[in-house]
Amino acid sequence: MSRAFVSVRDLRVSFGRGARLIHAVDGVSFDVAEGEVFGLVGESGCGKSTILRALSGLNPDWSGEATIAGRPVARTRDPAMARTVQMVFQDPYGSLHPKHTVETALMEPVRIHGLGDGPRRIERVLTEVGLSPAFRYRYPHQLSGGQRQRVAIARALILEPRVLLLDEPTSALDVSVQAEILNLLSDIRRTENLTYILVSHDFGVIAHMCDRVAVMNHGVILEELTVEALMQGRMRHAYTRELYEASAGYTRRLERSGEEADVAA
């Protein structure tokens, strides 16, 4: 692997005090190469999303060291780093303001960062995510879940970042739409040479998107492995195998449910 584009060392995030102290992230370290898709997988509450929130500047209360594109990640949100790193959230229904048009949502980061030619930028990113420029005049309630997530991705892309942090970007969507969004993200990464850190609990999503994956449990990374090794069952940790088998069973149940729905229709 080439020199690390994203480097995290001994990252620690805790919540609460005394007897209620919880070590959400407990000494996590990993590297991500430029252009790579690196996955963080594990059960809910294992610390995956907390890592993304620390790297994005949404949670300033962390210790350790992190660098992105050779620059240290500060505890307080840095405008220059915000242009380098953007985040796509899990819930497309909650990440867009219900009273703001798509144009308003996309223009806001352009104005905050003092960038020019906002209309051209909006048209470009909408086209990039597969929406016509006419969508700029719509409100969130006029969009499907998949369209809302495309707008959320467009909002992240409008600042022309180099890294996208993807927090379960398809888990709130219908199964039929999930593949469309994953394929879109794959195409954008190749076109823009972006680096992704993708959080998921679904090994199917990880296998579709990622080059390497770190398996987390109780705030620590149990092991890192390539997706090829994962799919061939060459994991070292028993927890990884149990999680993989459970995810595979869940995916098969979803597929059967979809087939049954097609037959009923």
Cα separation, 82 vs 57, whole angstroms: 8
Q: Between these two residues, 176 and 157, which has the higher pLDDT value?
A: 157
Rounded CA-CA distance 5/92 in Å is 28
Residue 251 has pLDDT above 70, yes or no: no
C-alpha torsion sign, points 147, 153, 156, 157: negative
What percent of the chain is modeled with pLDDT above 90?
Answer: 75
pLDDT in tens, 71-87: 999 988 888 899 999 99
pLDDT band at 252 (very low <50, low <70, confident <90, very high): very low
Interior angle at CA 254, CA 250 and CA 260, nearest 5 = 145
Place of tokens 């690196």: 38
Q: What is the pLDDT of residues 194-233, one digit of tens each?
A: 999 999 988 889 999 999 999 999 999 999 999 999 989 9
Cα 15 to the chain's mean position, in Å?
22
Average pLDDT over residues 126-137: 96
> Looking at residue 265, what is its pLDDT?
45
DSSP, collapsed to helix, strand or coil, labels residue 201 as: coil
Rounded Cα–Cα distance for residues 255 and 210 (Å): 21
The CATH number of the structural domain formed by 37-58+75-264 is 3.40.50.300
Identify whether the C-beta of residue 80 lies closer than 8 Å to the C-beta of residue 160: no
Q: What is the pLDDT of residue 249?
A: 54
Cα(145)–Cα(191) distance, integer angstroms = 24
Between 176 and 120, the higher pLDDT residue? 120
Spatial CA neighbour of 224 closest among 41, 12, 2: 41
Buried b (16+ CB within 10 A) or exposed e, 236-246: eeebbeebbee
User: Does residue 258 register a pLDDT over 60?
Assistant: no
Scan for tokens 């997530």, then name that residue. 149
CA distance 168 to 158: 20
pLDDT in tens, 161-172: 999 999 999 988
Q: What is the largest CA-CA distance in the chain?
A: 56
